[in-house]
Amino acid sequence: MTERLYFRQWLSGRDYAEGDEVAKEMRNFAYAIGDAVTGEAVLVDPAHAPGELLAFLAADGMRLVGIIPTHYHADHIGGAFYGGHVAGIVEVLAGAVVPVHVQTQEAPLIEHAVGVGVPPVVIHESGDVVMVGEIAITLLHTPGHTPGSQCLVLDDRLLTGDTLFLKGCGFTGRPECDGHELYRSLHERLACLPDSLEVFAGHKYALERSATLGDVRATNEAFEALGADEWVRRFGP
Ligand SMILES: [Fe+2]
């Protein structure tokens, strides 16, 4: 599959949305995953300057066929953000109505945040596979940072959103967060995945832009062998 995989990673405020202070400060990664043979692609977390991301796709000869948000936060899907507005999936959908693939638990949060519901939202359960041409993307429900956070597995890659960064993990300080669920997501739900996967996170909180899951497990304190309660005390709000 690798030879036909189309994969792009863009850093906000640097690779796109240049000059946007919010985008620069947030250091979000947006991604495109597609099939280079069929020319189909999905955008993952297209926030800040989605028009630029669509232009990147067009320049590469790719056609948008879907959106996969890792979770509902405005720096990933757009919406109201600390008194301002971040552009995101609403602006993408204004140009082309495509499916928005989310976990069951995230759907109401996305509808509340940006007013996008079913359809174009398509509700998924953990383990569902989204096909983009011949490229299979498996959606894993990894709650904790938000109730319906999801990680994406494709080929030899793992996209983790705000569930896991190369250093640290997503915060659990909001009412809908659940530290024990995040502990289970990191230490149990992702435990079956091989060390060889390359991890691509939702923010650039490390010098590197990606690392193997084996390296992240070995160096990230969020994988320290603590009991759940101690882990939540350490990493909770
Ligand atoms: Fe987040």
Q: What angle do CA 229, 232, 234 make, to 5 degrees?
A: 110
C-alpha of residue 54 to centroid of ligand 1, in Å: 22
C-alpha of residue 77 to centroid of ligand 1, in Å: 10
What is the reported pLDDT for 2? Answer: 66
Domain range summary for the chain, segments of one domain joined by +: 2-235
pTM over 0.85: yes
C-alpha of residue 1 to centroid of ligand 1, in Å: 30
C-alpha of residue 39 to centroid of ligand 1, in Å: 30
Rg, Å, the chain Cα set: 17
Q: Are 157 and 27 in contact (CB under 8 A)?
A: no
C-alpha of residue 160 to centroid of ligand 1, in Å: 11
Q: Are 231 and 224 in contact (CB under 8 A)?
A: yes
Instruction: Determine how β-strand 100-103 pairs with β-strand 84-86.
Output: unpaired
Q: Is 126 exposed, middle or buried (0-12, 13-18, 19+ CB in 10 A)?
A: middle
Read off the DSSP letter of residue 40.
E
What is the reported pLDDT for 158? Answer: 98
C-alpha of residue 74 to centroid of ligand 1, in Å: 8
C-alpha of residue 13 to centroid of ligand 1, in Å: 17
Alpha helices for the chain (secondary structure H)? 21-26, 50-59, 74-77, 89-95, 107-114, 179-184, 213-219, 228-235
- Which residue shows structure tokens 């405020």? 13
Written as six digits, the tokens of 189 are: 């739900």
C-alpha of residue 73 to centroid of ligand 1, in Å: 5
C-alpha of residue 61 to centroid of ligand 1, in Å: 30
C-alpha of residue 140 to centroid of ligand 1, in Å: 16
C-alpha of residue 18 to centroid of ligand 1, in Å: 21
What is the reported pLDDT for 236? Answer: 79
CA distance 97 to 150: 22
Task: Report the run of H or E that residue 237 belongs to, with start and end.
Answer: none
Tens-digit pLDDT string for the chain (237 aa): 568 999 999 999 999 999 999 999 999 999 999 999 999 999 999 999 999 999 999 999 999 999 999 999 999 999 999 999 999 999 999 999 999 999 999 999 999 999 999 999 999 999 999 999 999 999 999 999 999 999 999 999 999 999 999 999 999 988 899 999 999 999 999 999 999 999 999 999 999 999 999 999 999 999 999 999 999 999 877
The third-level CATH classification (topology) of the domain covering 2-235 is: Metallo-beta-lactamase; Chain A (3.60.15)
C-alpha of residue 28 to centroid of ligand 1, in Å: 10
C-alpha of residue 24 to centroid of ligand 1, in Å: 16
C-alpha of residue 4 to centroid of ligand 1, in Å: 30
